[in-house]
Chains A and B, each alone.
Chain A
Amino acid sequence: MTALVGLVVNPVAGVGGAVGLKGSDGETTQRRAHRLGAVPRAGERAALALAELAARHPEELRLLTADGPMGAEAALVAGFRPQLVHRPGRRTSAWDTTATVRALRRAGVRLLLFAGGDGTARDVLAAEPGCPVIGVPTGVKMHSAVFAVHPRAAGETAAAHLSSGLPVHPREVVDLDEEALRRGRLGARLHGHLPVPELPLRIQQRKTGATTPDPAALGGIAAELRTFLPPGELLVLGPGSTTHQVAAALGAETTLLGVDLLRREGAGLQPLATDLGERELLDRLAGRSAWLALSPTGGQGFLLGRGNQQLSPAVLRSAGRSRLLVLATEAKLAALRGRPLHLDTGDPALDAELSGHHQVITGFRRRALYPAY
């Protein structure tokens, strides 16, 4: 029997990521992102998921979606001939998302793929899709537990579910207050649950808050980090409370959620520029070598592709794997419950290049060997 699969794409999801806006909610943010040169990637990532689905599920599929950037474009790129259930206006909005989901429910889809971030997940939840849902991650942070770890994993999970019916469990839709976030305050709220098919290691966990502060461990990580950086060396520091506190231990005030550029001076670090976007990073690093220090997202284990899209494939290639330093306390690694670190740079070749075992700095003269893929 032909399976009916629904798709909805939020074309502006994630547009703020690479330019350092920490989210894409709100029209003002989206306009600002465009002014800063942001390129929408949601459609491209949705197409990746669909291509994976088509490759793994050769039986006949009928794809239902909205017109234009809300689904049809991605479907055509992936080789589908979609049936349209909604026509959005020139400027899409949350209303278009909910209208599309409701139309898909009425059409009786068996599975819904949505491409977006936490805000899109909230819109899907509000529309009550009435079938299992898989999020194609195209947002900035994505703290909800309804997303695949990367677009191809979304396609793989969808194919497995259509072929053999995976177990479906309710998973959390969580969102941060982006306005507060841009002012450096963190606050998450649980909005509800969506039914998600479970394929081990393909669906991400909910982001957890900072693990219990362990000043001794963070101080140890800071001391170990310093051993990599002779005076004058540049360091690009990724977002999050771990990197923020490590920098503080080395005397540097950094942004909690931005990507910052620092230089080793004396016994500590000196900030050179804070809250940089992809373009600014590329400009500042042109022709210079720099170390890159990142910490995985708590409970999820994302090293790249969640909340740090400023570190684009171009920026990452300019640093190189050998200059990538991963920082995490033992407690933070333990909280991953044995799950690997995830890579979702948007460039599958780069993900493959960066995959394998990474030495994670867990303290002074202490490392852990931890897999990433």
Chain B
Amino acid sequence: MTITLPRALKGLAILLTVLAVLAYVGYLLIYVSYAIELFRWPFDYDQGEGFELYDAILYSRGEWPYRDNASFPFYASNYPPLFHLLIVPLLPIFGPRLITGRVLSFAATLITAGTIGLVVRRNLKREDGDWMLTWVIPGISGLGYLASNYVYQIGPLCRMHMTLVMFETLAIVFIAEFEDAQHGTRNLILGLAMLFFAGYTKQTAVFSVAAALCYVFLRDIKRALLAGGGLAVAAGTVFWLINIVTDGAWWLNIIQANVNEFDYRQTLFLFRQWISLHTLFVLLGVGLFVYELFWDRLSAYSLWFFFALGVGALSGKWGAGFGYFTTATAAACLASGLALGRLRNGAWWSKLGALRPDIGRRDVRALLTALIPLLYLLQAPRMLHLPTSGPIFAPLSRVLGVDGKLAYGEGETLVPTHCRSVAYHDAMGYTQLGHPLSPEDYAAGERIMAQVRATDGPIFSEEAMFSILADKPVVTNPTQLLNLYNNGLLDTSEIIAHINEQAFDLVIFRAQFYPAPVLEAIGQNYQPVDHVCMNGFTYHLLWPTRRLESAAGQSN
């Protein structure tokens, strides 16, 4: 006797599928709305954005951003060049504005999500046109990536993370097909090229390189050694050449400056948060890895998921954060789709011997038709994030009961490091990204720019965009200076001499991530003249004492 699925359950399955698809399409719309919001915002939203744009500007002038940090303008980049080089062709279209990098990064997330969906679909597609395997699981696997709180928040920023994940995803997809009878060698070469691009976008690509080469090694040792050797020679040669032409500044800024303090508690906190937000995707990814490890052959996708956890393990480094989990999120979404597909087509159950003789594959598949969208639907609110203002989001957040649960808190619960609450709720709790900008934020930005434009020479700003928008040189990359100083690799004498001479007409602080002697010198030579609340942060504007005395003399 076989179990037949009641008609009511079929109806329920269709209803759950529609609701699940709506939930993830809803997240896509929230993401697009946030991206459009950021495309319009001219100032730094995240502190590193302006510096990444400035790297692109330097490349467009034919200059390297790997320089001597100890001499004026005390600026160097701590990231590899590819993301910034990709921005360069956009500069003539948009001008030297953040929208260049934001559009690029946003496009990278869409390509990654599309690739995840297509790979899952290709692996699950059946000749009988099963809509769950052909459309629903691939679609939500891709949309799930864009629905991630982490991807949402970082996706449309002028930061290199998401371009890295795009190259990593494409690399793994090509490498997974290296045994293809017709295009195996082509796929391997393309995969290695993508790994090269990923490595020259951000250093953390090394984990995806390890995953890809490990996969090839498990299946074909000779080709793995050839591929690994070829990649090492290509990447090593470029690395060596850049180091030669930058007189060693490349090595100092890319490698030595990134050796920072590590706090394992931050790593554990972020692991717990990542699992809590992406529970279904993570559990299915782990399930696929364990199944393949003991009962099947390890695939490129489950190995990638496993190695990507290594990037997450580095998230306790000073300056790191949840962005280190974006690769693991992409891998989890992809692996989860493959896992659900295998569950759905019954291959796992048969292989595990878990089916009773009287229960057929068709029955299991029928039950999973309802269960899979239910699982996706249960996962959706775990990642809940949305603005709480505006004609659509304000009533929606009220209906969902989160209109009073804001990312920075409000009133008495306002996080002390912030000057104003933001109209945004996120299931991850406190976060500095993801919220929309208000008219007050635009007005605050113009107030700061008025101060910047009133100066003649360069300014000393913790964020680069104030200088770039006023056509001034970018002076200092604060976190880079701090990293080098903490590692005993920065001579601060010239920068302190400039501050003592009061060579900058204006200092703009936000987080004060400068070496202590630099902050002390500024404290002795500059005084606060204004405090501006923008984007939830207080910006401190300081004038040199000579300028204050001159202004006082004129008014007398």
Q: Are both chains from one complex?
A: no
Spell out B's residues near A (CB within 8 Å).
Answer: none
